[in-house]
């Protein structure tokens, strides 16, 4: 039996030894946020929404974040962009035909301060990365949401989740007095934490009108899904206010995408098979569901039928 072969050390990977290649841009690059640290819009008395970062942050001069969407869409056949007008056409095609992944190439990071009850609705959109202010580590700031007398809404008779028109002034004033009592707990909350009650437990005494903050990072596709639901008229007014401010912040970054979103999604209309059959035949909707019938009547009104 011959001598055992000695183990050999693997050669160093050629890849690991290769130098990093620094590729310069073909032309001037510009900062989509114009060198600003953040773009911020106040919402209500104590709230705000701020755009603190976007990817891509740098784009070729004369382009927007729409270019990243086009770049991703065209990677399969390697064709370069010839004109910005062609980019707009492609973006509109992608959104119209629900090709979603190219829109995921744009990332947006927001800093938001909002009432707790708005945050609890917001967090239902589970496609973002979120880091929230911790009331276990820190004292909750003395900030509470209060509507105006005119902003106190009456429970909707058709929407079990929401309110619509203002309630009469006397009842509205009673509700604001109730909020005064709830906010008064803050002084005791502060006092008891100073006397040693754990912050993680003391926070249980605070109402959902108290403000929280978080950083919320989400790709553009899922941000648009959030906006399609939260800018809609049936969403709670308070979260609508934040959503509309968010749209104002992203519109300059991806104008072609936002234009297509309005044309093909937010201000468009979906018709079911039953609704199409009813319009074609002139016959009643083939459903006995009263809510579905009411929704169809609303669509026909919008269409002038």
Q: Active site includes 38?
A: no
Nearest to 44 by CA among 242, 217, 285, 270: 242
In the set 74, 136, 230, 280, the catalytic residue is: 230
Nearest to 222 by CA among 80, 104, 49: 104
Are the C-beta atoms of 252 and 63 separated by less than 8 Å?
no
Contacts with 238 (C-beta within 8 Å, 6 or more apart), sequence order: 44, 114, 115, 117, 118, 145
Nearest to 176 by CA among 187, 167, 189, 163: 167
Are the C-beta atoms of 178 and 118 separated by less than 8 Å?
no
Are the C-beta atoms of 65 and 106 separated by less than 8 Å?
yes
| DSSP reduced 3-state for 130 | strand
Q: Where are the beta strands (DSSP E) in 34-187?
A: 39-43, 47-55, 58-60, 107-115, 129-132, 153-155, 163-166
Catalytic residues: 230
């Amino acid at each position: 039996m011959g001598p055992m072969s000695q183990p050999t050390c693997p050669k160093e990977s050629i890849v690991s030894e290769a130098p990093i290649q620094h590729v310069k841009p073909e032309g001037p690059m510009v900062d989509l946020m114009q060198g600003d640290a953040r773009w911020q819009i106040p919402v209500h008395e104590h709230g705000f929404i701020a755009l603190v970062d976007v990817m891509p942050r740098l784009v070729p001069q004369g382009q927007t974040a729409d270019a990243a969407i086009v770049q991703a869409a065209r990677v399969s056949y390697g064709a370069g962009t010839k004109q910005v007008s062609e980019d707009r056409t492609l973006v509109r095609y992608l959104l119209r035909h629900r090709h979603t992944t190219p829109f995921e190439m744009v990332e947006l990071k927001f800093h938001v301060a909002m009432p707790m009850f708005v945050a609890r609705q917001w967090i239902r959109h589970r496609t973002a990365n979120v880091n929230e202010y911790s009331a276990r580590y820190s004292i909750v700031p003395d900030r509470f949401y209060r509507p105006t007398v005119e902003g106190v809404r009456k429970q909707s008779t058709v929407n079990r989740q929401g309110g619509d028109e203002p309630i009469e002034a006397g009842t509205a004033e009673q509700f604001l007095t109730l909020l005064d009592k709830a906010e008064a707990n803050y002084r005791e909350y502060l006092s008891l934490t100073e006397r040693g009650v754990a912050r993680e437990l003391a926070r249980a005494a605070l109402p959902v009108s108290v403000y929280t903050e978080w950083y919320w990072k989400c790709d553009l596709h899922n941000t648009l899904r959030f906006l399609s639901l939260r800018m809609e008229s049936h969403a709670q007014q308070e979260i609508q206010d934040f959503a509309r401010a968010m749209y104002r912040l992203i519109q300059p970054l991806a104008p072609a995408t936002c234009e297509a979103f309005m044309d093909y999604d937010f201000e468009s209309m979906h018709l079911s098979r039953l609704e199409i059959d009813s319009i074609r035949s002139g016959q009643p909707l083939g459903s006995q569901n009263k809510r579905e019938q009411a929704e169809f009547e609303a669509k026909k009104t919008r269409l002038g039928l």
